[in-house]
Structure 1
Amino acid sequence: MPGQTSSLRLPSFLHGTFRSVQQKTRREGLRCSEQHRKDGTFPEPQHLLEVPPGEVVLAHEVVDIQRERPAWRLYMVSNLMGHLSETSSGEGLNPFPMRNDYETHVRETAWGSLFFATTYLHPMSAERMAQRLQAVLRFWEPLQGARYLFKKLGATHTLEELMAAACGWALDAWSPEKEASVQVRLEKAAERMARASRDDCIEAILRQMSRAISSERDLKHRQVLADPTFQREGLATLDPVSFERVSGACTAELLALLFDWDDKMGVHQAFTFSRWPQPGCPRHD
């Protein structure tokens, strides 16, 4: 890819203490917002810094417990995005079109591709996740140079370990061949997601449903929800927008769908029960 280097470089606004990065990403978000409103483009970062080989990059806020220490804070791209919908005068804008445009823009960088592939941000559809995984794969070599902290304190990850931790659901749903390397499985998953039909998505979703159900204790109608026939029938009733939301088979999206089904079953049962007389009460048909 033109302009790609073998070393990982991050914008200077992602390096420093937590407070420093918070301030710099806010300023960068406002700068991006202003230019995008003028001409529909985004400015390039003013300074890129090379990440020394083996240095740790924080990829999730939960592991950022020493906030007074300078560090590479990749996850703070989310703070930048939170300010894309602001103006210097404080006026708010519809955030979603600009966020989508910004994602498309920075996925063409190593740091941007990794942020969007490892961060839970809507949409998590098959189409969008294919684009995110393909972007990471294009920058695989420079991204391999760093080590990453993600969700688990003290556990530094290689790039393969990070992607397995962040996108394990995608690997399980779309590339279950566990004998292959993570990189190869990601390539297969991205390819399958990119060309997936509705039926392909349903099969991937069904592979993930049992994992989603087993991860959540608060579902009240587990036996019904675990029935593949019920799942197929439920998926068949989804309108295109609702189906696209779950088409990637992301565990969090499937859980939201399962809880929706669970609640509707509870309401239906309560309605059915309410039509029958309680003990000691006469029945009126």
Structure 2
Amino acid sequence: MPSFLHGIRSTVHQKARKEGTRCGKQYLQDGSFPTPRQMLEVPPGEVVLVHEVTDLQHERPAWRLYMVSDVMGGLYEALDWQNVFPVRDAYEVFCRESAWGALYFVVSPTGPVSAQRTALRLQAMLRFWDTLQSARYLFKTLDAVLTLEELIKASCDWAMDAWCPVEDASVHMRLEMAANHMARATQEDSIEAILRQMPRALTFARGLKHRDVVADPAFQRQRLTSLDPVSFEHVSGACTADLLEKLYEWDRQLEMQ
């Protein structure tokens, strides 16, 4: 793991922002990003923090993977927040070539969670599966130290349920099958995956005034097929959070009619 992601929280923050500035300067010069100056091996069994909610001991040295977001913040500042989205996409492609970068963008997705983009993220992470298995992880529950398989189930169960709805297979196999299905998904494939995930999204929806209407698969299909290509791409991965946002949007539209 890059050395700038290890240490006490304040130090990691400073080092990560500095790395972002360094990345920004090189990107402005030639459109590329520099490799980290120093890589550290994460000893087997060491705990990696992958979500800030579990980082309560700021003065304790730790592997703080979630603070890749600070690198990206420093990168954007170095570019004066110009053309942020293309830079974000380019930096993600760069990061997916490393084990820890690939894992970060799987468990901390940024930008549109489209079927194609999610497939690329999952496929990148799967290439480093054996390397990533040796560590342990803290995600969103305090004191719940997870194996890689448990981390992926906690963070990517929506992808497996939507794109590989089988139970009698390993996490690795389900994830691989889901990624393959996403990579070659047609619009109809995505709609079917979304419809499989809508009941899950509805369990998180609160205060819907037209729940019976927006919960109707026929209504959902009609609204999905009427989306413009860009809007559809943003939800094509069937990510629960994106679908929940759509449910609220449709509910507001019905209220205005």
For the criterion TM > 0.5, the same-fold answer is yes
Give the secondary structure class of the aligned counterpart of 1:196: coil
**Deviation at residue 231 of structure 1 after TM alignment:** 0.6
Consecutive unaligned residues in structure 1, runs of 5 or more: 1-9, 269-285
Give the secondary structure class of the aligned counterpart of 1:49: coil
Is the contact between residue 113 and residue 136 of structure 1 (CA under 8 Å) also seen in structure 2? yes
Separation of aligned partners in 2, 1:199 and 1:30: 42
Separation of aligned partners in 1, 2:176 and 2:13: 34
Q: 1:223 aligns with which of 196, 199, 212?
A: 212
Question: What letter corresponds to residue 236 of structure 1 in structure 2?
Answer: T
Counterpart position of 2:159: 170
Aligned runs of 1:14-25 on 2, under 5 Å? 14-25=5-16
Counterpart position of 1:235: 224
Separation of aligned partners in 1, 2:21 and 2:199: 43
**Deviation at residue 103 of structure 1 after TM alignment:** 0.5
Counterpart position of 1:145: 134
Identity level (%) = 60
Separation of aligned partners in 2, 1:91 and 1:224: 44
Consecutive unaligned residues in structure 2, runs of 5 or more: none
Separation of aligned partners in 2, 1:94 and 1:198: 29
**Deviation at residue 94 of structure 1 after TM alignment:** 2.1
Is the contact between residue 163 and residue 181 of structure 2 (CA under 8 Å) also seen in structure 1? yes
Counterpart position of 1:73: 64
**Deviation at residue 116 of structure 1 after TM alignment:** 0.2
Counterpart position of 1:26: 17
Counterpart position of 1:6: none
Counterpart position of 2:46: 55
**Deviation at residue 120 of structure 1 after TM alignment:** 2.9
Task: Give the alignment's Cα RMSD to 1 decimal.
Answer: 0.9
**Deviation at residue 95 of structure 1 after TM alignment:** 1.3
**Deviation at residue 86 of structure 1 after TM alignment:** 1.8
Is the contact between residue 138 and residue 145 of structure 2 (CA under 8 Å) also seen in structure 1? yes
Give the secondary structure class of the aligned counterpart of 1:57: strand
1:160 aligns with 2:145: no
TM-score if structure 1 supplies the norm length? 0.89
Counterpart position of 2:27: 36
1:86 aligns with 2:77: yes
Separation of aligned partners in 1, 2:22 and 2:207: 44
Distance 1:199 1:41, change over 3 A: same
Q: 2:201 aligns with which of 189, 212, 216?
A: 212
Question: What letter corresponds to residue 182 of structure 2 in structure 1?
Answer: M
Give the secondary structure class of the aligned counterpart of 1:86: helix
Is the contact between residue 112 and residue 235 of structure 2 (CA under 8 Å) also seen in structure 1? no
Is the contact between residue 126 and residue 248 of structure 1 (CA under 8 Å) also seen in structure 2? yes
Is the contact between residue 84 and residue 95 of structure 1 (CA under 8 Å) also seen in structure 2? no
**Structure with greater proportional helix content:** 2
**Deviation at residue 178 of structure 1 after TM alignment:** 1.1
Separation of aligned partners in 2, 1:120 and 1:181: 23
Give the secondary structure class of the aligned counterpart of 1:25: helix
1:67-106 deviations in Å (ceiling 9; x for gaps): 110000000001111121222xx83322111111110011
Is the contact between residue 246 and residue 253 of structure 1 (CA under 8 Å) also seen in structure 2? yes
Is the contact between residue 225 and residue 262 of structure 1 (CA under 8 Å) also seen in structure 2? yes
1:14-33 deviations in Å (ceiling 9; x for gaps): 00000000000000000000
Greater C-alpha Rg: 1
Counterpart position of 2:90: 101
Give the secondary structure class of the aligned counterpart of 1:72: strand
Aligned length: 257
Separation of aligned partners in 1, 2:81 and 2:112: 22
Give the secondary structure class of the aligned counterpart of 2:75: coil
- Of stretches 213-222 and 185-194 in structure 1, the one that deviates more from structure 2 is 213-222
